[in-house]
């Protein structure tokens, strides 16, 4: 009871200090991906964590499992140490009260006493174990773990840390657990969208003499959405005009499900066939739809062209080099990006054949043949599943660091591809993972978004994921892995065979309408000085001007884009009538 009162007091004090009783508490998108000599202060002053920076020694902190804990003070840094660990969960803990319907963002600074070891944050609540996130902790410096969670029922919970490496001590400092209401969470999204996806257009209309035109009627129509939003396709779109119309009305980018993959283009060694991929690329170019290249190679052994398995040594290397040369040269400079070694955190087919630097070498080859196209790692479960240690944000960062030295014809431009195959989304964890990866400064794309869930919640979860991705300031594009397939889609479809939207497709249309899609219109009148000002989503726009007083009309076009140096300033346009 005393600990619960302390947590309530901490939250109340925090609310007073930030004024969040009357305004929405801002979200802290920051994340530190470097290992620091000293931990930073706890985010949100610790939120509901009592004694978050260990200034008060053992207050509110307890041993978990059979660990021994001690409280240290080194160079004015106070922290807690869990030692003599026999089981992965042996560590340090604090009891908390968790509420259903709240979204919790979590952070902590961790260190181990020797080497490196993955450490996870776990919440034990109502008989369940909720993993909030993980980090690869190091010795002699502090690493930031950032994560998040929601709970299915309100009640008591217990935070603890775990590591499968029981030989290490776990050092903990600067812990934070901040709850947000659904309304606050949405306000974060709205604020980010206004800042990152929109811009004010200041339009002035002048007559032939250069004089301002008052009360001119303006109609502004979005011709193309600025934020890349798209859908995967297969070859069945060729010749299917109903499918083509449904698709091109909605999407500005696509990924071919199979048609560029090695097992599709070279069924027999030495007999390459790109005819289907070429036709699809021509079609989408004609309709102004960008194409992501998917993929150069796939690291999953189950998805290889059959003849490749029998090769080894130099013969295998030459086959891979020919593949990279062929496909990267053919589509050089024509694609939005390349998924280079698909799913190379979970699988290691090419490493087993070519050695531990296989991914590095394939990225280097791709860079040599197509130097200007962004090269993506493309992985699943980095956003979807905090329990998956193979593809955690920390493991993803590790792979990025391995590839960073690739330099051919200048610095390689790397990108972060996150497949986003969700079941039940952990939205706070998703946001925190994007924060961590976003700290690299590299472009992030959600590349294969879908949701495998019961039909009564599938569309709801799908909307949650799309909204979170679109709102995050570091996400530069989204492709959903669901459209239409006569044989059935991978996990979900957006439309049926008559191209009538399913509930998930209705979500897409709803969001596109919000984002100005479907040639959304804004209307208004110029003021006495000939000005009209409005805030619009980034994109390409058509402008129609009508002055009934002089019976004159004109048409123009303009483009609104994000400008990091001046996005808070209006984008000014002057048009003649």
531 lies in some domain:
yes
* pLDDT score at 412: 73
| Mean pLDDT confidence for 419-424 | 98
CA 169 from centroid of its chain's CA atoms? 33
DSSP strands (E only) in 343-443 = 375-379, 414-418, 421-422
β 128-138/116-125 pair status: antiparallel
Whether residues 204 and 91 fall in one domain: no
Task: Give yes or no: residues 293 and 208 share one domain.
Answer: no
Q: How far apart are the first and last CA of the chain?
A: 73
Average pLDDT of 246-252? 97
* For residues 95-108, average pLDDT: 98
Q: Judge whether residue 11 has pLDDT over 80.
A: no
Q: Crossing angle for the helix pair 427-438 and 455-471, nearest 10 degrees? A: 30
Active site residue 272: no
Please give the average per-residue pLDDT across 309-323, as a whole number. 97
Cβ neighbors of 322 (< 8 A, separation 6 or more) are: none
Binned at pLDDT 50, 70 and 90, residue 23 comes out as: low
Statement to judge: residues 165 and 263 lie in one domain: no
> Over pLDDT 70: what percentage of the chain?
95
Residue closest to 489 by CA, chosen among 250, 229, 232? 232
pLDDT of residue 55 exceeding 50:
yes
CATH number at residue 283: 3.20.20.80
Q: Grade residue 407 by pLDDT with cuts at 50, 70 and 90.
A: low
Cis peptide before 295 (omega within 30 of 0): yes
Q: Which residues are paired to 47 by β-bridges?
A: 177
Specify whether 280 is located in the same domain as 161: no
Residue 144 pLDDT exceeds 80: yes
Better-scored residue on pLDDT, 483 or 41 = 41
What pLDDT shows up at residue 409? 52
- How long a stretch of residues is the chain? 577
Distance CA 235, CA 459 (A): 26
* pTM, two decimal places: 0.94
pLDDT for residue 14 is more than 60:
no
Do 384 and 425 meet the contact criterion of CB atoms below 8 Å apart?
A: yes
pLDDT beyond 70 at 566:
no
Domain that holds residue 136: 35-180
355-391 tens-digit pLDDT:
999 999 999 999 999 999 999 999 999 999 999 999 9
CA distances from 148 to 104, 121, 130, 165, 179 (A): 5, 9, 9, 23, 10
- Give the mean model confidence (pLDDT) for residues 64-74: 96
Are residues 111 and 47 both part of a single domain? yes
Percent of the chain at pLDDT exceeding 90: 90
Name the β-bridge partners of 358: none
Is 20 inside any structural domain?
Answer: no
Q: What was the pLDDT predicted at 21?
A: 41
pLDDT at 421: 98
Say yes or no to pLDDT of 2 above 80: no
Residue 455, in any domain of the structure: no
- Tell me if 9 is assigned to some domain: no
Whichever domain contains 69, its CATH number is 2.60.120.260
Answer whether residue 561 is part of any domain: yes
- The one catalytic residue in 184, 234, 336, 343 is 343
In this predicted structure, the answer to whether residue 427 has a pLDDT above a threshold of 70 is yes
Is 448 designated active site? yes
**Structural domains of the chain, count:** 3
Q: For 268-295, what is the mean pLDDT? A: 98
Residue 22 belongs to some domain of the structure: no
Instruction: Say whether both 172 and 73 belong to one domain.
Output: yes
- pLDDT bin (cut points 50, 70, 90) of residue 15 is very low
- Spatial CB neighbours of 444, under 8 Å, sequence gap ≥ 6: 415, 416, 418, 434, 437, 438, 472, 474, 475, 476
Is residue 17 pLDDT above 60, yes or no?
no
Instruction: Report the mean per-residue pLDDT for the chain.
Output: 94
Residues 39 and 123 in one domain: yes
Residues 202 and 167 in one domain: no
- Residue 359: enclosing H or E segment and its boundaries? helix 358-369
CA 299/CA 380 separation, integer angstroms? 13
Distances (CA, A) of 25 to 105, 183, 289, 422: 12, 10, 39, 28
Q: Work out the pLDDT band at 20, boundaries 50, 70, 90.
A: very low
Q: Residue 10: is its pLDDT beyond 70?
A: no
Q: Alpha-carbon distance 569 to 202, whole Å?
A: 10
Q: What share of the chain is helix, strand, coil (3-state, %, to 5)?
A: 30, 35, 40
Q: Same domain, yes or no, for 377 and 299?
A: yes
Using CA atoms in the order 41, 47, 52, 58, what is the torsion angle rounded to 10 degrees? 170
Is 284 within a domain?
Answer: yes
Res 408: pLDDT: 53
- Indicate whether 17 belongs to any domain: no
Name the token pair of 291.
């194409």
> How far is Cα 373 from Cα 162, in angstroms, rounded to an integer?
40
From the candidates 162, 169, 266, 448, which is the catalytic residue? Answer: 448
What ranges in 439-553 are assigned the alpha helix state H?
455-471, 503-514
CATH number at residue 554: 2.60.40.1120
CA atoms 257, 497, 228, 448: torsion sign = negative
The structure tokens listed for 546 are 């009508």
Does 130 share its domain with 253? no
Residue 46 vs residues 54, 102, 375: alpha-carbon distances, Å: 11, 16, 38
Instruction: List the alpha helices (DSSP H) in 423-454.
Output: 427-438
The mean pLDDT value for 405-415 works out to 72
Q: Please, are residues 221 and 520 in contact by the beta-carbon 8 Å criterion?
A: yes
The per-residue pLDDT for 18 is 39
Average pLDDT over residues 57-72: 97
Please report the pLDDT score of residue 13 as a whole number: 43
pLDDT band of 488, cuts 50, 70, 90: confident
Q: Are residues 274 and 293 in the same domain?
A: yes
The verdict on 112 and 235 lying in the same domain is no
Q: Is the pLDDT of residue 47 over 80?
A: yes
**CA-based diameter of the chain, in Å?**
87
Other Cβ atoms less than 10 A from the Cβ of 225: the count is 22
Cα–Cα distance measured from residue 552 to residue 118, given in angstroms and rounded to the nearest whole number: 69
To which H or E segment does residue 534 belong?
strand 531-537
Cα separation of 295 and 255, whole Å? 10
């Amino acid at each position: 009871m005393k600990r619960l009162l302390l947590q309530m007091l901490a939250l109340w004090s925090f609310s007073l200090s930030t004024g969040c009783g009357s305004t929405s508490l801002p979200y802290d998108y920051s994340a530190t991906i470097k290992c620091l000599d000293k931990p930073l202060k706890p985010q949100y002053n610790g939120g509901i964590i009592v004694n978050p920076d260990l200034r008060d020694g053992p207050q509110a902190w307890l041993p978990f499992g059979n660990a021994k804990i001690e409280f240290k003070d080194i160079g004015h840094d106070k922290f807690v140490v869990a030692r003599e660990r026999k089981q992965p969960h042996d560590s340090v803990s604090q009891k908390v009260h968790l509420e259903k319907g709240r979204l919790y963002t979590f952070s902590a600074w961790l260190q181990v006493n020797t080497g490196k070891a993955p450490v996870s944050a776990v919440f034990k609540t109502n008989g369940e174990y909720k993993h909030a996130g993980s980090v690869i902790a190091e010795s002699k410096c502090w690493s930031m773990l950032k994560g998040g969670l929601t709970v299915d029922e309100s009640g008591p919970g217990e935070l603890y840390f775990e590591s499968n490496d029981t030989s290490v001590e776990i050092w903990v400092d600067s812990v934070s657990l901040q709850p947000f209401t659904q309304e606050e969470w949405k306000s974060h999204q709205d604020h980010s969208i206004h800042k990152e996806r929109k811009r004010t257009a200041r339009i002035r209309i002048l007559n032939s003499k250069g004089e301002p035109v008052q009360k001119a009627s303006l109609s502004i129509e979005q011709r193309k959405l600025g934020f890349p939003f798209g859908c995967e396709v297969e070859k069945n779109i060729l010749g299917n005009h109903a499918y083509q119309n449904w698709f091109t009305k909605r999407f500005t980018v696509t990924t071919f499900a199979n048609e560029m993959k090695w097992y599709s283009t070279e069924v027999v060694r030495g007999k390459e066939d790109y005819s289907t991929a070429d036709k699809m690329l021509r079609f989408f170019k004609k309709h102004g739809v960008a194409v992501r290249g998917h993929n150069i190679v796939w690291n999953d052994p189950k998805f290889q062209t059959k003849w490749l398995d029998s090769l080894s040594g130099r013969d295998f290397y030459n086959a891979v080099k020919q593949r990279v040369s062929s496909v990267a040269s053919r589509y050089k400079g024509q694609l939005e990006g390349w998924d280079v070694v698909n799913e190379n955190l979970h699988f290691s087919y090419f490493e087993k054949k070519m050695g531990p630097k296989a991914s590095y070498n394939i990225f280097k080859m791709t860079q040599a043949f197509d130097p200007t196209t962004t090269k993506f790692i493309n992985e699943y479960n980095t956003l979807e599943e905090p329990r998956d240690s193979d593809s955690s944000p920390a493991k993803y960062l590790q792979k990025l660091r391995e590839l960073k030295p690739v330099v051919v014809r200048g610095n390689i431009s790397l990108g972060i591809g996150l497949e986003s195959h969700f079941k039940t989304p952990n939205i706070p964890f998703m946001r925190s993972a994007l924060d961590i990866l976003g700290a690299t400064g590299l472009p992030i794309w959600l590349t294969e978004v879908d949701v495998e869930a019961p039909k009564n919640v599938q569309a709801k979860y799908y909307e949650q994921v799309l909204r979170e991705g679109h709102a995050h300031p570091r996400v530069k594009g989204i492709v959903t892995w669901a459209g239409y397939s006569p044989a059935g889609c991978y996990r979900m479809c957006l439309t049926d065979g008559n191209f009538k939207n399913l509930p998930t497709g209705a979500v897409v249309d709803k969001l596109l309408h919000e984002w100005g899609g479907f040639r959304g219109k804004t209307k208004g009148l110029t003021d006495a000085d000939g000005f009209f000002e409005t805030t619009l989503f980034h994109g390409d726009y058509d402008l129609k001007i009508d002055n009934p007083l002089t019976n004159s009309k004109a048409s123009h076009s303009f483009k609104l884009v994000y400008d990091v140096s001046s996005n808070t300033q209006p984008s000014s346009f002057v048009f003649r009538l």
